[in-house]
Amino acid sequence: MRPTTTNTTLRALYKPQLLRRTFTTSRPHASRLRQPGEPTGPNEPPSHISTPPSKSPLKVWPIVGIFALGSFLFKKIVDQRLEEAAYKPQGPVVGMPAIGNLGATTRTSPLWSPDAVTVIFVLGGPGAGKGTQCQKLVADYGFKHLSAGDLLREEQDRPGSEFGEMIKTYIKEGTIVPMEVTVQLLENAMKASMAGDNKKGLFLIDGFPRKLDQAHAFERTVVPSKFTLFFDCSEAVMEKRLLQRGETSGRADDNMESIKKRFRVFVETSMPVVNDFESQDKVVKVSAERSPDEVYADVVKMFKERGVEPIKLKLVQTQNA
Ligand code: ADP
Ligand code: AMP
């Protein structure tokens, strides 16, 4: 097989001894001290006879190859960085103003103990029915329902919000809003709720955590969760529900293009969170493909198994009443 430019270049870069051998094999006696005037090789003239400079392409191609490979690798790194910036923002948020007021995630210990505040995370793919089930749980169990998506949309629409434009872009792209913002919004909402009528501090946190960094940050700095309620649903069913919801929701992300991106982010970024909690035996999994009431009946059963009981007795109307 004829060596390609890339092969030659790679060899030149990573196996310099190979290249050296290429040059030295034509000089079998190179290691021996040469006598003055002695030819340098069997086919070479004595050194006093001048020869034109060698035009061997081997001397040029490694340099051209290294340059080409360098350019190729540089372009790849730039492309990768651009993709990461678009889809997976990490760490401190570039260009985010007034980061100082997003202090929640910088604390070193939780704000509340799990004895004082109960947090149940609610996860599932987009359209799995998290919001629908949370509404039912609120009515029967007295939880405060906090949806990360709703809080972000509220902040996005709040006049004068310095994060509004950024949130809008993330939501449209179906990507994960930087955790500093989401965790702070949740903490603020929790404080407000407990200062109001939620003295017991019972929370269902819906659509959160969607990424491992926010799961760890929340549990480290706000409060460790009790468990995660996970709604298992196929993409085909979720897609149908979301497209139907999109007919009236007015949401910028209930369209086919955003839905596909949200599915990808869910599988790649949010499922690792579910798996992580599952490894700690902190996941209650419910199949979400049946009717809302059937799904809810399962949720109630699972909650009971975890020691969570309804607070309200339902009044059932009998025929004689
Ligand atoms: P999520 O909060 O997980 O995005 P929603 O609760 O908003 O999902 O539900 C998405 C859509 O599917 C809504 O239009 C809702 O009415 C509908 N829906 C929710 N649960 C069910 C279900 N079990 N069966 C059929 N439709 C459902
Ligand atoms: P949802 O209302 O739960 O469907 O979420 C809508 C969008 O809000 C998501 O696609 C994300 O862009 C953003 N979002 C919701 N929850 C979170 C979260 N926990 N962390 C970061 N971004 C989120």
Look at residue 85 and tell me whether its pLDDT is greater than 60. Answer: no
Q: Write out the DSSP string of 86-139.
A: HH---SSPTT-TTGGG--GGG-SS-SS-TTT-EEEEEEESTTSSHHHHHHHHHH
Strand segments (E) across the chain? 118-124, 144-147, 202-206, 227-232, 283-287
Average pLDDT, the chain: 80
Q: 149: CA distance to ligand 2 center in Å?
A: 4
CB neighbours of 230 closer than 8 A, spacing ≥ 6? 123, 124, 274, 283, 284, 285, 286
Determine if ligand 1 sits within 6 Å of the CB of residue 135: no
Name the residue with the closest Cα to ligand 1, atom 23: 292
Query: What's the token pair of residue 321?
Result: 């009443």
Cβ proximity of 189 and 151 under 8 Å:
yes
Ligand 1 atom nearest to CA at 133: 6
Instruction: Give the mean pLDDT of 223-245.
Output: 98
User: Is residue 246 within 6 Å of ligand 2 at its C-beta?
Assistant: no
| Mean pLDDT computed over 46-70 | 64
Q: Do the beta carbons of residue 232 and residue 288 sit within 8 Å?
A: yes
| Cα–Cα distance for residue pair 228/251, rounded to 1 Å | 26
Mean pLDDT of 185-213: 97
pLDDT at 99: 32
Distances (CA, A) of 204 to 161, 211, 278: 26, 17, 18
Let me know how long the chain is. 321
CATH number of 119-305: 3.40.50.300
Pocket mutation for ligand 2, best pick of 119, 165, 210 (most atoms within 8 Å of C-beta)? 210
CA–CA dist 57, 69 (Å, integer): 18
Most informative mutation of 132, 146, 206, 294 for ligand 1 (most atoms within 8 A of CB) = 132
Ligand in nearest proximity to the CA of 166? 2
What pTM, to 2 d.p., does this model score? 0.72
Ligand 1 contacts CB of residue 291 (under 6 A): yes
Range with the lowest mean pLDDT among 13-22, 102-111, 164-173? 13-22
∠ at Cα 129 (285, 243), nearest 5°?
Answer: 135
- If phi over 0 gives left and psi between -120 and 50 gives alpha, with beta otherwise, what is residue 281? left
Q: Quote the distance between the C-alpha of residue 302 and its chain's center.
A: 29
Q: Is 108 exposed, middle or buried (0-12, 13-18, 19+ CB in 10 A)?
A: exposed
Summarised one tens digit per residue, pLDDT across range 112-168 is 999 999 999 999 999 999 999 999 999 999 999 999 999 999 999 999 999 999 999
130 lines ligand 2 (CB under 6 A): no
How many angstroms separate the alpha carbon of residue 206 from the centre of ligand 1? 13
Q: Is 238 in the pocket of ligand 2 (CB under 6 A)?
A: no
Residue nearest atom 26 in ligand 1 by C-alpha distance: 241
Q: Is 170 helix (H, G, I), strand (E, B) or coil?
A: helix
Q: How much distance in Å is there from the Cα of 257 to the middle of ligand 1?
A: 19
